[in-house]
A and B are shown apart, each in its own frame.
Chain A
Amino acid sequence: MKFQRIALPLMIVFLALGLSACGGFFATQNFPGLVLDDDILYISSGSHVHAVDVTNGQEVLLGNAPLRFPKDSDNNIILFAPVALTDGGQMVVPNSHPSKHGLYSIERATGNVRWTFEGSKGTWIAGALVLNNTIYAPGGEGILYALDMNGNERWSVKLSSNGLMAQPVTNGELIFVPTMDGILFAINPANGSQIWQRELNGPIMAPPLLDEDGNLYIGTLSGRMFSLQAASGAVNWEQKLDGTIWSAPALDGETLYIGVMVGKEGRFYALQRATGAIRWQRSEEGSILASPLAFDGKVLFVTELGRVQALSGDGAPLWQADLKGKLVSVPVLAGDLILIVPMQGDDLLVAFDVNGAQRWKFKP
């Protein structure tokens, strides 16, 4: 009986822990969202948006206090979608809390909330797009909202019965929105009407990449990489890769770079831009979830195990670094710095120069 007396309360405690902590309730930590505006990097991570001056690795200050949203911690706010910046000094921040669905507009000069849009019934996962004084916000219930700069709804269009996971992109004439149903939509930004749609046979987590010739490059979780014509949606080519594609590719000259997840491992591909043929590939210990960064004939990618790997255009290793935490967000090039945001690491932001030397790191 003594055993039972000890075991019963222990089981309740373990059950509570197992159901809550280990059970994986909606994670407060997630792929941090990054947006660079001049010398300021806005990082959405955990419960705050931080603004970091990349010239010195210090948090931007408003008076004596750092520019953060929210100013104080709030359990009802989870942030990981990248913010959208408007010309009028607003910062549009989606709250990714599972049951609080606010889309906030923050005055960047003061840190104050200007307005909140609460029209969505789903969890915001992806960041918004700003084009011609309109905010295009992909909702967690599959609706794309077009809002004016005061948060009033101009129009909305239902694109999916599931949440929209990718930030819309634009060529200035159309808005491109992928869905988890495996469909890429081209939408008229003026009224939300559909110009074309293309079934890509696999859930899509990442936005397409646009090139200067009017082509779109997009991958699916089924491991298919597509090149499409932005004007019509016609498929230029399709390439099946070994793994699942979680991010947008990067383009450098005639080479398209993309990393994939293969179970707990990863693979990095260089494809011919014109045909999709594989130029070279290499395996990685950690899965590759973030978009690569292509610059100056080189390419850099990060892995979930914390590795930063730089390669030449031919795939030869140039340098590598290992950081604490998971690297799941796209590296950002700011001048001669490469900015990396680890998730669950010791630091929120680490800066390298283009030769792999660590320049500074930031911890709030």
Chain B
Amino acid sequence: MWDTLIVTPMTNILLLIYSLVGNFGVAIILFTILIKIATHPLMAKQIKSSARMQELMKSDEWTKIQAKYKDDKEKLAQEQMRIYKEQGVNPLGACFPTLIQFPVIIGLYQSINRVMGVSPLQLVDLVRSITDPAWAWMGQIFPAASIGALLPINTQFLWMNLGQPERILADIVPFGGIPTLAIIVGLTTYIQTKLTVMPSANPNDQSAQMTKMMGIYMPLMLFWFSLNFASGLAVYFIISNLAGIAQYAALGKVNWRNLLSFRSQSQPEPKSKSTPAKKSKK
């Protein structure tokens, strides 16, 4: 089911782009941007929802109920729900769009991985995707998208073989060379996290701590993936990061000051000056 609905269609669209542009690196870049554009409305909704939630949590009313009902969790939850209702904020609004995007991200990744397969078993999956009855028409309409024309995929892009982990100066530098792409992946992931994390009302609360941890672990995790696996995936990570920053920038939500700030991302203004409670019907 997952394969039929997500991975096979994505694989075929990626291959169609490849058959049109003739370069797999460019195809990955275009495909990633295409997916980002297609999921942008969801992303925009998530960003706006997160921003409203952050604003709400900075409000006087929110702070007051936190203090007032700190020993009565049930009452606190009721009051929080009341404020959500009054402000027209859906507490899950930031999560649902992310959850919907999640299969798309995994599917995109898996389809890139499938196309770059070099072992016989991986090629079986790839050929099966191309010859899937729902997609076989592609090769009939576009001869460039038929098996004979598509395979083997040319995985050479710039100085990289997209099917292999990337290193430069492998013959000179010890330990197999410099993993340029993995370093760029780590940096762009870190930069994206720094630029797009919204200031927290309370830097010590659990979600702020978690966001901070994600800001550390995600760049390290993606750096490690890029270090060890096919460089085509690293290209995808980099473009995905840059497109993510562009999405936030388009909505005016990029926090440029955070880039050079190494302190906790707390709100810059005192809590008492925040004013979103104006909307309150109270």
Contact = CB atoms under 8 A, between A and B. Distances in A.
A25 B229 contact: yes
A140 B94 contact: no
Contacts of B214: 8, 12
A24 B118 contact: no
Contacts of A125: 118-120
9 contacts: A4-B91, A4-B207, A12-B214, A26-B229, A98-B165, A99-B165, A99-B228, A161-B154, A222-B147
A263 B128 contact: yes
Contact of A31 (B121, B133, B156): B121
A25 B113 contact: yes
A30 B228 CA distance: 20
Contact of A221 (B99, B147, B164, B217): B147
Nearest to B133: A263
B248 interface: no
Interface stretch (A53-61, A201-209, A211-219): A201-209
Interface in A1-35: 1, 3-5, 7-9, 11-12, 14-16, 18-20, 22-27, 29-31
B246 interface: no
A128 B105 CA distance: 40
A19 B217 CA distance: 15
Interface residues of A, number: 56
Contact of A123 (B118, B123, B211, B218): B118
A148 interface: no
B274 interface: no
Contacts of A328: 120-121
Nearest to A182: B148
B95 A4 contact: yes
A19 B225 contact: yes
Interface of B is mostly: helix
A185 interface: no
Nearest to A244: B127
A38 B123 CA distance: 33
B106 A15 contact: yes
Interface in A161-183: 161-163, 165, 180-182
Interface of B: 91-92, 94-95, 98-99, 102, 105-106, 109-110, 113-114, 117-125, 127-128, 131-133, 146-148, 151-152, 154, 156, 163-165, 206-207, 210-211, 214, 217-218, 221, 225, 228-230
A205 B117 CA distance: 14
Contact of A246 (B124, B133, B148): B124
Contacts of B109: 18-19, 23
B50 to A, nearest CB: 9
Contacts of A22: 106, 110
Contact of B131 (A26, A30, A160, A244): A244
Given A7-B99, A19-B109, A221-B148, 11 more contacts: A1-B91, A4-B95, A7-B98, A8-B207, A15-B102, A22-B106, A24-B113, A26-B229, A123-B164, A180-B151, A263-B132
B239 to A, nearest CB: 16
Nearest to B228: A99
A95 interface: no
Given A18-B109, A98-B230, A246-B124, A11 B119 contact: no
B121 A205 contact: no
A202 B147 contact: yes
Nearest to A243: B131
A163 B102 CA distance: 34
A264 interface: yes
B120 A205 contact: yes
A283 to B, nearest CB: 15
A234 to B, nearest CB: 21
Given A11-B98, A24-B125, A98 B106 contact: no
Contacts of A263: 128, 131-133
A261 B127 contact: yes
A80 interface: yes
Nearest to A19: B109
B9 to A, nearest CB: 15
Given A4-B94, A261-B124, A18 B106 contact: yes
A227 interface: no
A44 interface: no
A181 B211 CA distance: 48
A130 B26 CA distance: 41
A96 interface: yes
A67 interface: no
A302 interface: no
B164 A99 contact: yes
B121 A140 contact: no
Contacts of A140: 118
A289 interface: yes
Nearest to B95: A7
Given A18-B106, A263-B131, A162 B152 contact: yes
Given A24-B113, A221-B151, A263-B133, A1 B121 contact: no
B147 A1 contact: no
A71 B113 CA distance: 32
